[in-house]
Structure 1
Amino acid sequence: MASHFKFDFGVGTAEQGYTKITPQHRYDASVGYGFSQVDKVYAKERSEAAALNRDFCIPLDTAFLVDVPDGTYRVSVLIGDEIADTETTIKAGEGRLMVNKQRTSPGHYVRISFSVWVTGGQLRLTVTGRAPRLNAVEIEAAPQTCTIFLAGDSTVTDQPASGYPYAGWGQMLPMFVKQDAAVANYALSGRSSKSFISEGVLDEIWGRIKPYDYLLIQFGHNDQKFDEERHTDPFTTYKETLKIYIDGARERKAIPILVTSVQRRFFEEDGTLRDTHGDYLTAMRELAAEEEVPLIDLAASSKTLFEKLGPERTKDLFMWLAPGEFMNFPDGTEDNTHFQQQGGIEIAKLVYEGLKELRLQPLILYLR
């Protein structure tokens, strides 16, 4: 299976060294690449433009798929149009936001590079936007790229496209990371620090993490649940379980970073936010001090953000959806724990700012 590709999208002659991808190129397992659907893929050619700028595809309601071995890949995308304004958003895998609303003016082109953590043997790129363009894509294996692993729950995980606009903050974090690092989001809905281990998910991370990678750890929402599979006590089993993550990362010469649980959307009558995590926040802060582990106090920063926005404006971050507002939630929903995409972006921004404040080397060099 190849691990280096150069694709030229559109209808004209392929640029030298590139493989031409037209609107008719549906994914074929025997070839290993193509669009998942081709019913709404269009192409244009601008004769006055040069080389790769000359033509492009407009891929609507589809994804471009490329079979590759599991690992980290550097992806470089060329976007632009000789005569029109464009706006393009690119997501990788299950909705990981890599490029958000990138605009170009007529006659201008941008080449954007990012690193993607691939599992399941296939790289998936979804291109959307008000006027999306896909001129060229280059994909190359980058096994030495620094990887930021995420261990956490539903507030962190990659939510499936079928659940849009439902999103975890880990899903949005890649847009804040430069091409020199990739985000590997292993967070899963419903997991506590305890069940994440017992179900073998942490072992998957241990099998892939390498020296000088990073491990961000956010648990607490489900540690509060009282079922035996998930429950931990803040100052005993919760701290003991988190220490397994810390010790495991350090044994592998990776760097653990603790992240206190993002707040839920519950307000008191005076407009202040009600803390629903209690001693779990105190316990994690204590553990960070005891073990000399970097800490991002997401509970504190999200509290500040939510109180600034207030009860009504925070609904735009959480899964407060009106009936008929989103196709995947025709009856609407009112959820004070989980985020819609804009909320995921705002919380990812808080994590990004927390990482910058830590000033860890070389991590700070990988942040946008």
Structure 2
Amino acid sequence: MAYYYDFGPDGSEVSQGYTKVTAGDVYARERGYGFTDCSQVTALQRNEEALSGDFCIPFGATFLADVQDGNYIVTLTAGDKYAPTHTTLRSNGERSVLPDIHTVAGQVAREMFAVNVRGGQLKLSFGGLAPRVNSLEIVPSKEQVTLFLAGDSTVTDASEDGFPFSGWGQQLQRFFKHDVAVANHAEGGRSTKSFISEGRLDVIQEELKAGDYLFIQFGHNDQKNDEERHTDPPTTYIEHLRKYIEAAYSHKATPVLITSVHRRFFDASGKLQDTHGAYLDAVKQLAEEEGIALIDLAAKSKRLFEAEGPEGTKSIFLWGERGEWKNYPGGVRDNTHFQERGGLRIAELIVEGIRENELQTLIMYLR
């Protein structure tokens, strides 16, 4: 089922086949759509043109639409006849999908992106200096390539309450056109072992299809000593990684192994210290044995972090002073997880690895 929304003030004309959304439409389950908070939303009408003549101004607002799970192509129309606009957009899980939409007065932009919906609801969070939303088209698609991510908290989609914490998977969709939908199944605290035991790989397998990709990055929690998560690099770690590879092949999808991104630990000389050890060697060995693509994120992140140095990497990792961020009022010193800038920098390294491995289907759809 497709969903079409025409945004504007009460009483303005509704385009045929569209549902009118006004500045006062608060989300209600019986309605199935609406803003979570309308206090910062206004609506204006500039002319009688269908869809582009009226709009809502959603300053810091989030729009919800109840939809069936699956992949969608979402088309946003944004513009204003009288004024320049600047809109940013995040989708479910605070994923950055359209970082900067600029229009001049009289211009209307029509931007398309992909989104993978789980949980029966599409969430679109608006930002920017002068945001506009004239219309939304949410159309299901069976033709997209789905890029599945299996991993831990360094990969996961962070919640709004965790801002500015960001996994690199959260930033990945913005690099792709609407032909690729990123399905981020990574979850904090998981190892290759616990991810499988909790049924998370089974969920991915239910959706995997021929032509899709499965990116796999673990290691941080495989090092933990508890029985639920611990694996041994040369034995059980490799054994569990093979299960992800087999899952991909069983559905004619392409597995890609990724070495663990480094933590922020420097020695006195400014050289990065390796905290992953044999886990990195195990991934590289397995990729060579299986003849599958490897993105050596450990090596890439090492070069990046050493170039930035102990001070520069504070803007990559989740570091903040007291009172700097609302969600960390007492300050934060986290040498494992990333803030948004860091998640974006690591996502750029993943895209670099996609190109190096000549993953042509994905390369073809990079923005």
> For this structure pair, what is the TM-score category when the shorter chain's length is used for normalisation?
over 0.9
Tell me which residue corresponds to 2:176.
177
On the 8 A contact 1:6/1:137 being kept in 2, the answer is: yes
Q: What letter corresponds to residue 72 of structure 2 in structure 1? A: Y
The 5 Å alignment of 1:255-274 reads 255-274=254-273
SS at match of 1:235: helix
Mapped pair 1:155 → 2:154: yes
Mapped pair 1:72 → 2:75: no
SS at match of 2:242: helix
Deviation per CA, 1:178-237, whole angstroms, max 9, x where unpaired? 100100000000000111011111111111111111000000011111111111111111
Q: What letter corresponds to residue 4 of structure 2 in structure 1? A: K
Q: What letter corresponds to residue 278 of structure 2 in structure 1? A: D
Q: What letter corresponds to residue 196 of structure 1 in structure 2? A: F
Q: Which runs of 5+ in 1 are unaligned?
A: none
Mapped pair 1:100 → 2:99: yes
Deviation per CA, 1:225-271, whole angstroms, max 9, x where unpaired? 11111111111111111011111110111110001111111112222
The 5 Å alignment of 1:295-314 reads 295-314=294-313
Deviation per CA, 1:261-298, whole angstroms, max 9, x where unpaired? 11111112222211111111111001000001101111
Alpha-carbon distance in structure 1 between the residues aligned to 2:143 and 2:228 = 36
The 5 Å alignment of 1:167-246 reads 167-246=166-245
Alpha-carbon distance in structure 1 between the residues aligned to 2:104 and 2:275 = 47
The 5 Å alignment of 1:1-368 reads 3-11=1-9, 12-47=12-47, 50-368=49-367
On the 8 A contact 1:223/1:230 being kept in 2, the answer is: yes
SS at match of 1:58: strand
On the 8 A contact 1:257/1:293 being kept in 2, the answer is: yes
How far 1:83 moved relative to its partner?
A: 2.6
SS at match of 1:346: helix
333-342 vs 106-115, greater mean Cα deviation: 106-115
Alpha-carbon distance in structure 1 between the residues aligned to 2:186 and 2:162 = 16
Q: What letter corresponds to residue 341 of structure 1 in structure 2? A: E
SS at match of 1:249: helix
Q: What letter corresponds to residue 239 of structure 2 in structure 1? A: E
Q: What letter corresponds to residue 78 of structure 2 in structure 1? A: I
Alpha-carbon distance in structure 1 between the residues aligned to 2:6 and 2:254 = 39
Q: What letter corresponds to residue 16 of structure 1 in structure 2? A: Q
271-280 vs 15-24, greater mean Cα deviation: 15-24
How far 1:33 moved relative to its partner?
A: 1.3
TM-score by length of 1: 0.96
Q: What letter corresponds to residue 14 of structure 1 in structure 2? A: V
Q: What letter corresponds to residue 74 of structure 2 in structure 1? A: V
How far 1:28 moved relative to its partner?
A: 2.3
268-277 vs 212-221, greater mean Cα deviation: 268-277
Alpha-carbon distance in structure 1 between the residues aligned to 2:84 and 2:301 = 36
49-58 vs 7-16, greater mean Cα deviation: 49-58
SS at match of 2:249: helix
SS at match of 2:241: helix
TM-score by length of 2: 0.96
Q: What do you get for the CA RMSD once the two structures are aligned?
A: 1.3
SS at match of 1:53: coil
On the 8 A contact 1:86/1:105 being kept in 2, the answer is: yes
Q: Which runs of 5+ in 2 are unaligned?
A: none
Alpha-carbon distance in structure 2 between the residues aligned to 1:130 and 1:321 = 24
SS at match of 1:334: strand
SS at match of 1:166: coil
On the 8 A contact 1:37/1:61 being kept in 2, the answer is: no
On the 8 A contact 1:76/1:137 being kept in 2, the answer is: yes
Alpha-carbon distance in structure 2 between the residues aligned to 1:136 and 1:86 = 15
Q: What letter corresponds to residue 19 of structure 1 in structure 2? A: T
72-81 vs 354-363, greater mean Cα deviation: 354-363
| Matched residue count | 365
Alpha-carbon distance in structure 2 between the residues aligned to 1:251 and 1:240 = 16
Percent of aligned pairs sharing the same letter: 53
Alpha-carbon distance in structure 1 between the residues aligned to 2:352 and 2:110 = 25
Alpha-carbon distance in structure 1 between the residues aligned to 2:287 and 2:297 = 14
Alpha-carbon distance in structure 2 between the residues aligned to 1:303 and 1:53 = 48
58-67 vs 195-204, greater mean Cα deviation: 58-67
Alpha-carbon distance in structure 2 between the residues aligned to 1:95 and 1:6 = 22
On the 8 A contact 1:356/1:367 being kept in 2, the answer is: no
Q: What letter corresponds to residue 182 of structure 2 in structure 1? A: V
Alpha-carbon distance in structure 2 between the residues aligned to 1:104 and 1:354 = 33
How far 1:312 moved relative to its partner?
A: 1.1
SS at match of 1:90: strand
Alpha-carbon distance in structure 1 between the residues aligned to 2:101 and 2:272 = 35
SS at match of 1:143: coil
